[in-house]
Amino acid sequence: MTKIQIISVFIIGLAIALIAFSGKDYSSYSTFQKASEAERKVKVAVELALEEEIYYEPMEDPNLFSFFAVDENGDKMKVLYAGAKPQDFERSESIVLTGKVNGEVFEASDMLLKCPSKYTDEEIKIKGEQS
Amino acid sequence: MQEIQYIGEHLLIGQFGHLSVIIGFVFSLLAAYAYFKQVNNKEQSWNKLARISFALHSVMVFVVMALLFYIMIERYYEYNYAFKNVNDDLPFRYIFSAFWADQEGSFLLWMFWHAVLGLIILFQRGKWEAPVLSVLSIVQFFMFSMLMGVYIGFGEFSFKLGSNPFILLRETMNAPIFSNADYLSLIEGNGLNPLLQNYWMTIHPPVTFLGFASLTIPFAFAIAGLWTREHKEFLRYVISWATFSGGILGTGILMGGAWAYEALSFGGYWAWDPVENMSLVPWLMLVAGVHINLIARKTGKSIKSVYAFYVIAFILITYSTFLTRSGILGETSVHAFTTMGLENQMLIMILFFIFGSLWLFRLRKKDFATDKTEDNLSAREFWMFVGALVLAFSALMITLSTSLPVYNKIRAIFQPSFIGSVIDDPVDYYNKYQLWVAVFIGILSGVGQYLRWKESRFEKYLKKFSVSMGISIAGATILTILFGSWMDMHAWQYWVLLFASFYTVSANLDYMIRLSKLNPRAVASSLSHLGFGIMVIGSLASGLNKFHISSNPFAQRGLLSEERLAKNVMLFKNMPMFMSGYKVTYADDYFEGNNRIYDIKFEQLDSMGQPVDSFTLHPTALYNNTITKVAAFNPSTLHTLSKDIFTYIASIPQIEADMEIARQKEDSLEYVALDLMENAPAFFRDTVVVGDSTVIRTYELNLLQVLNEPTHADYVAQENEISFSPRISVFDTYYDSTYIVEPTVTLRGQAVYSYNVHLQDLSLKFKVEEEALKYAFVMEEDLDYKTYEFGKDEVLEINGHTIQFTGFIPNPKSVDYVPEEGDEALWARFLVDNKQEVKPIVCIRGNNFLTYKAIDKGTGLHLKPLRINLSEDGKDAKLLMSIAMEDKAEAMNIPIGVAHAPRTDFVVLESIVFPGINLFWVGSIVMLIGLFIGVWNHRLRKQVS
């Protein structure tokens, strides 16, 4: 084998090894239950609990947004997020939260909203209806 | 069911379009076959058919595009594509954006560039025309199949081939509206997402898809080279195309970053999002391929790798298309994906090209004898190859990581209980590994320049090499220390990266100026490497040292356990706020179209608090097309040489952002009714929450005046209406300050309009109650009429006012009187108190005698003619009048409503400083310029040789 071939094999091996052994950088979608036990940040796929209060009062604190979310097990938990309330938050179909549980609340460091597509097949806009 | 004859549909154009797709599909296959025959049988006679087929297939691409544009421009909503992507209000300049915002349009754009590039090769009439266009035609054949929209097979085993862009709306869904034959007059299109209505969306996709399409050319050359076994010739011809593709695709990727940074509120230019990753990866492979191509041309070695890299780059582009269009990425990306339902078809295409290429490689294996000579560690080609491998490593890492959702899905097929995993923090994760890629590239691209091709006497060259290395390392060290001390370096790894970047900058500058004396050949590569180094320095500077202006340490309430950086501040209109050395004021806001522009004024203060610099930024809230709801917030950025100040609005009050909520909030306000009279103050008591306690604030309200010409900002005067505004002074007894408000009420026909006033400073809202209209509109039955008789010029004294009848005037006009044919109408002119003219109207219409009364607003006198009494000789007429006077004192009682309404004149602002970000842009552009100079060099060289 030439040096280049050795280097090639080494580099490809390194890439695969790095991916394979960086398990701590990955995690599966968790639940609130599991998040309460976990020490580190986890991702939880949730739905917004629309019947509960969605709180964002910028006059009180522009960096505090809180709401309640339900995970796949049906567990409900209060979520705090240090930022502004995203536009169209109420319409989001599902939310992926990144963060950890502290006592009774889930503290999210990041949120990814999945909003329904603007175009739903069942919806046909009738002229003049939108006034 | 009975067939409905629909009205107003333009079905012919769609049928023609679909036919064009099928013709294009057939001709792309025919072109591939004819070119194949020409190459394989070495029969030039096939060339004519091949060229005609390729040209016709190109024409079909253009025709399909033109027809699709046409139905969008004409707003033929019977077509699903027009219905989904345009609406009546969409300006013409965004039709292009709407065209490629959807799947079929972007496929067409890609095919368009394939056709254009193919035609260029066709017209060059070189010997590569036939094999290259044969491969390109196969690619086009697969792409046309994506647009076919036909079902193949029987019953349950039917397979949908492609998605026809000309499908009708009523074929895509089953809605009751389609039972109406005239449904077209009732519907309107959805329109383009407001986020995509900007010039970036007009220019970014064409460049990116030209990048994608140009990447097919090196692939086609590679297959052609393997096929015809013209390996040397292949190396010579492909390199300019590959370099061109690298430049264009790089430009497209960079534009995507610029779009995200300039126009979207992501707060950055690169987020390691799957869509970004999967356009970067083919570029990395392509650039690696170009480097190995150079090696192969110089040394005759590594030809196999050149083929491999160009083929892999193309396969990665198709894989990237599969990932982003199959919906498999799901929740891992911020980009919204809609599936086209063509996952299987795309998979077949990818597998075809993978296995086809592998098969061809196997066939040609013996062409590439393994080179047994030991690699020369002191030669340029060795380290250049290592550099290409580092790029491939980077591409491999990114591809594998981005494909995690694919892995999850495949594993779940075999093991249904398997729960897939995701990357916790993509930005940290990718940066962690790619940092070392950049370090290696930085060092290799510096050292590599100093080494010589096929070095055989390194001992003799060693002295020169050492001098160069000394110069470049010294330069890099000085720059790293200077720059690094200005920056805030969190970890030692960043120092390494900074040094590696400065190393390639100083080494390439040194090589370009001192050693190669600005030889254009050397300039191309040196500029690219230099640009790369500057780009990395810029991303380090702006990434590590970015900070929020908008962090207000006093506003933290500590509800979150971790100390987090407060990113946002709230700004009241015209109330400056001090933050991080800036005085920031929300000065104004106004609409331009459906864009609401905010003026945010920044004044930079020195340590003494004196302003040293000031500028105004204009972040916007982009409303939907009907201006009822905010669709997105777009940033505004101040660009200076050393830093950018990026600002956007994170939030505005719900009332301002959504008309529906505004209406609900207005309905839920609890107005307290107050009666206002002149010289009789009324009091409003408001309960206010201050901290944890509630206090009562008292306001004294005084009616100053009643204005008949309202001043309310939203009020627009119209004819035939009654409007007025009470002018009210509001005295805040706590802060000892006075405000003036002028709410307005208007009666237009039967409808009453209220123009309420929101006194933001006091969180109070004022409205005039409807009943107040009585003030201007005294009920007829409340008036006490008495009858008087007037002769001409006769003066009577009534209720303390003199009234004189001065005679009749022809051609009367008034709000109430509507003239008809045959009317005999006159004004009866009166003078009240010898100065005020009052003119009721009398009219004879057929047998009827009509009268229209007039009111003198000053005195409150109502003058209503009753009849005209002619004297017996007929010469003298006397006018019988009914006259009454309003009871002013009672009418002055104006009922108003006062409610507590929280302030809505604020924005929540996020403002970030990116130091040194210009280095990133300058570096990237320099790198691309280097690539384009390379294209130029290769073309020139080819012409010479």
Q: What is the mean pLDDT of residues B566-587?
A: 88
- Residues of chain A with Cβ-Cβ distance to B420 below 8 Å are 28-29
Q: Quick check: B722 contacting A, CB < 8 Å?
A: no
Residue B562 has pLDDT above 60, yes or no: no
Which residue is it, tokens 């979150």? B560
pTM of this prediction exceeds 0.80: yes
Least confident span in B350-354, B382-386, B689-693: B689-693
Residue B930 has pLDDT above 90, yes or no: yes
pLDDT greater at residue B470 or residue B885: B470
What CA–CA distance (Å, rounded) separates B489 from B482? 12
ipTM of the prediction: 0.84
B572 sits in which H/E element: strand B568-572
Q: Give me A59's structure tokens.
A: 């006059």
The C-alpha torsion from B923 through B926 and B932 to B936, rounded to 10°, is -150
Query: What are phi and psi for residue B191, nearest 5 degrees?
Result: 85, 175
* Helix B274-299 with B380-402: angle, nearest 10 deg: 160
| B334-354 pLDDT tens trace | 555 556 678 888 999 999 999
**How would you write B636-659 as a 3-class SS string?**
EEEECCCEEEEEEEEECCHHHHEH
pLDDT for B780 equals 67
Highest mean pLDDT, choosing among B288-292, B603-607, B844-848? B288-292
Q: How far apart are the first and last CA of chain B?
A: 72
pLDDT for B710 equals 82
The neighbouring-strand residues paired with B614 are: B603
By Cβ distance, the residue of B187, B336, B338 closest to A125 is B187
Residue B945 has pLDDT above 60, yes or no: no
pLDDT-based confidence at B47, cuts 50/70/90?
Answer: very high
Residue B892 has pLDDT above 70, yes or no: no
What rounded mean pLDDT belongs to chain B? Answer: 87
| B817-840 pLDDT tens trace | 778 888 888 888 888 888 888 888
Q: Give the single-character DSSP code of B177.
A: G
**Residue B173 to chain A, least CA–CA distance (Å):** 7
Q: What is the mean pLDDT of residues B776-780?
A: 64
pLDDT for A120 equals 39
B289 sits in which H/E element: helix B274-299
pLDDT for B885 equals 80
Q: What is the mean pLDDT of residues B655-678?
A: 86
pLDDT for A122 equals 39
Nearest CA in chain A to B395: A15
Interface list for B 361-380 with A (CB within 8 A): 371-375, 377
Contact A118 B190 (CB under 8 A): yes
Q: What is the mean pLDDT of residues B837-844?
A: 86
pLDDT for A35 equals 83
Which of A60, A63, A90, A107 has the most B C-beta neighbours within 10 Å, making it the best mutation to test the interface with B? A63
Q: How far apart are the first and last CA of chain A?
A: 75
Contact A64 B906 (CB under 8 A): no
Residue B134 has pLDDT above 60, yes or no: yes
Least confident span in B37-51, B465-479, B527-541, B931-945: B931-945
Query: What are phi and psi for residue B808, nearest 5 degrees?
Result: -100, 145
Q: Could you tell me what percent of chain B has a pLDDT over 70?
A: 93
Q: Give the single-character DSSP code of B273.
A: -
Please give the interface size between A and B, counted as residue pairs whose CB atoms are below 8 Å apart: 159
**Residue B209 corresponds to which amino acid?**
F
Q: Give the single-character DSSP code of B3.
A: P
Q: Give every CB contact of residue B750 below 8 A, 6+ residues apart in sequence.
A: none
pLDDT for A119 equals 38
Residue B487 has pLDDT above 60, yes or no: yes
Contact A84 B910 (CB under 8 A): yes
pLDDT for B552 equals 61
pLDDT greater at residue B491 or residue B856: B491
By Cβ distance, the residue of A15, A43, A118 closest to B397 is A15
Contact B393 A56 (CB under 8 A): no
- Residues of chain A with Cβ-Cβ distance to B385 below 8 Å are 4
pLDDT for B435 equals 93
Q: List chain A residues with pLDDT less than 70.
A: 1, 115-131
Residue B420 has pLDDT above 80, yes or no: no
pLDDT-based confidence at B624, cuts 50/70/90?
Answer: confident
CB B625 within 8 Å of CB B639: no
Q: What is the mean pLDDT of residues B132-140?
A: 97
What CA–CA distance (Å, rounded) separates B225 from B217? 12
Least confident span in B107-111, B243-247, B555-559: B555-559
CB B504 within 8 Å of CB B421: no
CB B204 within 8 Å of CB B252: yes
pLDDT for B867 equals 82
What CA–CA distance (Å, rounded) separates B757 from B766? 5
B903 sits in which H/E element: none
Contact B177 A124 (CB under 8 A): yes
Contact B557 A60 (CB under 8 A): yes
pLDDT for B384 equals 94
**Residue B186 to chain A, least CA–CA distance (Å):** 6
The C-alpha torsion from B728 through B729 and B731 to B736, rounded to 10°, is 160
By Cβ distance, the residue of A15, A107, A117 closest to B396 is A15
pLDDT-based confidence at B198, cuts 50/70/90?
Answer: confident
- Residues of chain B with Cβ-Cβ distance to A20 below 8 Å are none
pLDDT for B103 equals 86
What CA–CA distance (Å, rounded) separates B292 from B313? 13
**Residue A89 to chain B, least CA–CA distance (Å):** 12
pLDDT for B559 equals 54
Contact B400 A16 (CB under 8 A): yes
pLDDT for A118 equals 43
Least confident span in A55-69, B414-428, B660-674: B414-428
pLDDT for B434 equals 93
Nearest CA in chain B to A14: B393
pLDDT greater at residue A27 or residue B605: B605
Contact B338 A16 (CB under 8 A): no
- Residues of chain A with Cβ-Cβ distance to B400 below 8 Å are 15-16, 19
Cβ-in-10-Å burial (0-12, 13-18, 19+) of B499 comes to buried
Which residue is it, tokens 């004189």? B804
pLDDT for A116 equals 57
